[in-house]
Amino acid sequence: MCGIAGWIDGERYLPDQQTALDAMSKTLQRRGPDDHGQYTEDHVCLLHRRLAVVDPANGHQPMIAQAGGETYALVYNGELYNTEELRRELESLGCEFHTHSDTEVLLNAYIMWEDACLSKLNGIFAFAVWQKNNRRLFAARDCMGVKPFYYYDYPEGLVFGSEIKALLASPVVEPEIDENGLNQLFLLGPGAIPGKAIFRGMKELAPGYSLTYTVEGGVKLHRWWKLTAKEHTEDEKTSIAHVRELLTDSIRRQLVSDVPLCTLLSGGLDSSIISAVAAEEYRKQGRQLTTYSVDYIDNAKYFQRNLFQPAPDSEYVGEMVDAIGSHHRNIILDNAAQADALLDAVRARDYPGMADIDSSLLLFCRAIKKDFTVGLSGECADELEHAWLQPIQR
């Protein structure tokens, strides 16, 4: 993942605010340890922290381009899974490319189609584009809200960032929690209302939404994607083939990486399917997939079978490793380390979350990061699959 942030102020001269800008950028350093950049005008600044996954030598951000007498500056956090298809389409329309990063593809897509480019993107993203001459900021978030985007608008300007802490580093944002924020913390936590944030005046760009901002007109929101219900007309055989095609295609597209990639394997349906497809793709390339699982000291000693978890994850993990032939690593955590990591987990999330679940995930990812930059994981998708399968099993 990467980190983005920005500040637009119609009155403040932002080159004089470098200390605050550095503080905003520093809050995102963990999201992007490989590179950082800044684009600054008198009243506008865009910040970026990069975790290099595709084309590490290029793709520096903010990425700047000139076209049609306009200057475009882009900051982007995410990954496009249809990069090559978009690149070919844009090349047919006269675009030239100097890198193979999806950042350059996204920037050219916006220059070519502006806001309408969103309908062409297959991926996860949060990005912002500043148009220097038009004095206009356009920002968007992917349809499922995988990549975060928070913003704070006030009479003179706008501050935005990938994390709440980036906004709090700006001198115009006060760290005050209002009644709505308290209600979310105590009544909905660890969830939150889409489009809301717990701090006074701060908002989240909801999944499937975009925004435009000008100093004169302020923030205008637009819902660019909405889930729609349609009648299912396929028979069982066609449905199975269709779901298999969609699922395997989505996994294959996410295997594109110029840095080491692994999968997280718990033995559940979602992680097992992801790992099986990834392992098969790697075999075709003469490579072996590395998988990771997590366990806890004395878990085998104290584990008790129940309806929710009839067997330890390790049993299913072992079966899957044997079946797909992965190189497997098991990370063992202890309770003391999980307790010590609770505060770091809250800081990473920016507000209270799921206690030891968050801290164990943080420790697990730290261990994986020693050797791998990218890890594919199914986050509780098997819970959804289980809910759908229950009526069929009855």
Q: What is the CATH number of the domain that holds 306?
A: 3.40.50.620
Question: Does residue 230 lie within any of the structural domains?
Answer: no
Is residue 2 flagged as an active site residue?
Answer: yes
Tens digit of each residue's pLDDT (9 = 90 or more) over 52-79: 888 888 889 999 999 999 999 999 999 9
Whichever domain contains 99, its CATH number is 3.60.20.10
Amino acid at 371: D
Check if the beta carbon of residue 222 is closer than 8 Å to that of residue 211: yes
Question: Does residue 282 lie within any of the structural domains?
Answer: yes
- Is the dihedral angle over the CA atoms 385, 145, 379, 260 positive or is it negative? positive
Domain closes at, from 200, 223, 246: 223
* C-beta pairs of 304-310 under 8 Å, 24+ apart in sequence: none
Amino acid at 258: D
Residue 388 has pLDDT above 50, yes or no: no
* DSSP codes joined into one string, 36-54: EEEEE-SSEEEEEEE---S
Check if the beta carbon of residue 3 is closer than 8 Å to that of residue 150: no
Tens digit of each residue's pLDDT (9 = 90 or more) over 195-242: 889 999 999 999 999 999 999 999 999 999 999 999 999 999 999 999
Question: Does residue 42 lie within any of the structural domains?
Answer: yes
Question: Do 218 and 270 fall within a single domain?
Answer: no
State phi, psi for 78 to the nearest 5 degrees. 155, -165
pLDDT of residue 389: 45
Tens digit of each residue's pLDDT (9 = 90 or more) over 250-277: 999 999 998 999 999 999 889 999 999 9
Domain closes at, from 223, 251, 278: 223
* Mean pLDDT lowest among 11-25, 105-119, 178-192, 322-336: 178-192
Which band of pLDDT confidence, cut at 50, 70 and 90, is reported for residue 394? very low
Question: Does residue 133 lie within any of the structural domains?
Answer: yes
Q: What is the rounded distance in angstroms from the CA atom of residue 184 to the CA atom of residue 180? A: 6
Check if the beta carbon of residue 145 is closer than 8 Å to that of residue 194: yes
Question: Do 183 and 318 fall within a single domain?
Answer: no
Catalytic residue (choose from 2, 95, 117, 262): 2
Going edge to edge, which strands form the sheet with 3-9? 35-40, 44-50, 3-9, 157-161, 150-154, 202-204
Residue 189 has pLDDT above 90, yes or no: no
Residue 192 has pLDDT above 80, yes or no: no
Asked, as a colleague might, if the bond just before 33 is cis with ω within 30 of 0, I would say: no
Question: Do 241 and 214 fall within a single domain?
Answer: no
Tens digit of each residue's pLDDT (9 = 90 or more) over 100-110: 999 999 999 99
Mean pLDDT of 344-370: 92
Check if the beta carbon of residue 83 is closer than 8 Å to that of residue 255: no
Question: Do 153 and 266 fall within a single domain?
Answer: no
Question: Do 179 and 294 fall within a single domain?
Answer: no
Question: Do 76 and 192 fall within a single domain?
Answer: yes
- The residue that leads in pLDDT, 185 or 126, is 126
Q: pTM, whole model, 2 decimals?
A: 0.92
Which band of pLDDT confidence, cut at 50, 70 and 90, is reported for residue 390? very low
Question: Do 18 and 53 fall within a single domain?
Answer: yes
Question: Do 195 and 269 fall within a single domain?
Answer: no
Question: Does residue 229 lie within any of the structural domains?
Answer: no
Q: How many CB atoms lie within 10 A of CB 284?
A: 7
Question: Do 30 and 113 fall within a single domain?
Answer: yes
Question: Do 268 and 165 fall within a single domain?
Answer: no
Which of 290, 367, 375 is CA-nearest to residue 333?
367
Residue 55 sits in which domain range?
3-223
- In residues, how long is the chain? 394
Question: Does residue 231 lie within any of the structural domains?
Answer: no
* Domain count of the fold of the chain: 2
Question: Do 199 and 71 fall within a single domain?
Answer: yes
- For tokens 């049609």, what's the residue? 68
Tens digit of each residue's pLDDT (9 = 90 or more) over 30-58: 999 999 999 999 999 999 999 988 888 88
Average pLDDT for the chain: 92
Question: Does residue 156 lie within any of the structural domains?
Answer: yes
Question: Does residue 228 lie within any of the structural domains?
Answer: no
Which of 334, 296, 338, 333 is CA-nearest to residue 313?
296
Q: What is the rounded distance in angstroms from the CA atom of residue 165 to the CA atom of residue 172? A: 13
Domain closes at, from 223, 250, 276: 223
Residue 142 has pLDDT above 50, yes or no: yes
Which band of pLDDT confidence, cut at 50, 70 and 90, is reported for residue 382? low
Question: Do 243 and 137 fall within a single domain?
Answer: no
